[in-house]
Structure 1
């Protein structure tokens, strides 16, 4: 790590020295890495640094290595930096504190609180029902906090699969009916009355759990932006459950999400209207992501019978709208 970056971390944390620790993970398509830095001489034993370095030639696992793809990624890191520097949440939808950020040419650095030290040191490849509901509570609190908030400096429409940012994937969709309806599905979602800020990549891997699984914090805000809260909900549920589980468990989990949402929205919100609209948007949001998958990786395990059923439901609704 460059000395200027080390100096930034030392100054931001009031530390006397640092040691570069383990790499937590590499960033998508070789765009850098996330590392833990161990500190001396301050009250923080460690911080997590997201170090972005734009490559000369990235190789996308899905084969979509284009100038458009690169521009989208570059913008995503600028959006994430803006998010951490200008937005904050609360304990009910915990995120890491941003301690410093810097950008120099083709490199960016975001210095974040180490959530492991804060008590969120558990990661899950699969979840219990309790942990799943804990994440839905986080999403409900997050959506309630930003309900009606304009996504200034963020993506106008959040999520990494948003139609306007994914023309290559749309072109690759072989389902002619869904391909033709993609614009209408996006329009229905975009014209919903109740909008919030969505995480945009709310998969299970981006949640950090407390030891007992009672509390959770979220990371990775590259695709945070405006939109309907159902986009986060459907993406999260789809990251946790296979088709048979979705068929069996989604209704009760949706009820739980809306119960949590009702408990934390402001009193002047017409919650009955909000719930009615967002329940209607559930199938549209699920189909919107299904559309992306069919163009990006049609053999993905999430392309399943449950997704196809919801897509048929949406296509039928569009005929009568």
Structure 2
């Protein structure tokens, strides 16, 4: 869309003119684009979704199931921004929805620009301050939504959960992991204190203040009910190099649970923070094994398959033997 196409939208929001349109990124799989509009003396961000099925997929998974999963993910994101985003606390901020519009096969999600709120940095190499800020965001988000409804969101959050990834499971060459996939999924689904998970909590989906101490999150296509350790595992996989994971694992979990303890005092003082940590911490390896199962079936040469993740999956497979099969 050009400047003129966006004019009716900005007029509806009370702005007068558009000074500039910057494409921030093309949406995954060619489903549209994310743009920043400089309007009057401010700016807004528009997620412009185009629904027709593209001909090519970056990893070759161009199936109807993949297409339907994408469509549902955009419905979920619109639902999140309309019903949940404005409820996010100042400790786990997300851009508020300003306007949601549908024009036939095109959807427009108009949001606050996090730059205007002080979240000016996106990083591809995280320092400890960025990691702590992201874990703090996750902890407060999880604490706020423990045992809360998830109407209009995914029944199982995350983009890799087993129910939507039968093709990748069939392609998985790791027989031990394939045989354990259902049990891993069941353990995570039945874990105590189910909450809302972001579902795609990678480093690229966090924006930071200039000092790196506070984070806001974007991209809520895969938000839904789940075990909080799924978010922590996915985040660590994106923010810590494989060579540093063994060294950083305990610090990251300690940091997350310290933030969670503080968040629970605010949102759920009725819950026992120690018991939640005892319930969740052992599921870190299981949650990562669940993600590892997806990656190995989806892209067997991916860099996220490495000695650390292989070792963690072996640990999880040993661990789940203690759980009943039924």
TM range, smaller chain: over 0.9
Most deviating of 56-65 and 134-143: 56-65
Deviation, 1:313, is 1.3
Contact 2:132 2:213 in 1 (8 A): no
Deviation, 1:126, is 0.5
CA distance in 2, matches of 1:58, 1:267: 51
Deviation, 1:19, is 4.1
Distance 1:56-1:246 versus aligned 2 partners, 3 A rule: closer
Counterparts of 1:86-165 in structure 2, within 5 Å, are 86-87=83-84, 88-165=87-164
Contact 2:29 2:54 in 1 (8 A): no
Contact 1:30 1:55 in 2 (8 A): no
Look up the match of 2:23. 23
**What are the ranges of 5 or more consecutive residues in structure 2 without an aligned counterpart?**
none
After superposition, give the CA deviation of every residue in 1:179-224 in whole Å (9 maximum; x if it has no partner).
Answer: 1110000000000111110000000000001111111111000000
Contact 1:37 1:46 in 2 (8 A): yes
Look up the match of 2:42. 45
Structure 1 residue 303 corresponds to structure 2 residue 305:
yes
**SS of 1:38 mapped into structure 2:** strand
Look up the match of 2:82. 85
CA distance in 2, matches of 1:68, 1:54: 14
Deviation, 1:49, is 0.3
CA distance in 2, matches of 1:23, 1:57: 19
**SS of 2:216 mapped into structure 1:** strand
CA distance in 2, matches of 1:60, 1:20: 30
TM-score normalized by structure 1? 0.95
Look up the match of 1:8. 9
Q: Choose which of 68, 71, 90 in structure 2 pairs with 1:71.
A: 68
Deviation, 1:317, is 2.4
Runs of 4+ that moved beyond 6 A: none
CA distance in 2, matches of 1:130, 1:164: 35
Contact 1:200 1:223 in 2 (8 A): yes
Deviation, 1:56, is 4.0
**SS of 1:137 mapped into structure 2:** helix
**What are the ranges of 5 or more consecutive residues in structure 1 without an aligned counterpart?**
none
Contact 1:242 1:302 in 2 (8 A): no
Structure 1 residue 231 corresponds to structure 2 residue 230:
yes
Distance 1:253-1:7 versus aligned 2 partners, 3 A rule: same
Distance 1:56-1:227 versus aligned 2 partners, 3 A rule: closer
Deviation, 1:243, is 2.2
Contact 2:153 2:224 in 1 (8 A): yes
Q: Choose which of 262, 265, 287 in structure 2 pairs with 1:285.
A: 287
CA distance in 2, matches of 1:58, 1:92: 40
CA distance in 2, matches of 1:271, 1:36: 40
Deviation, 1:17, is 2.2
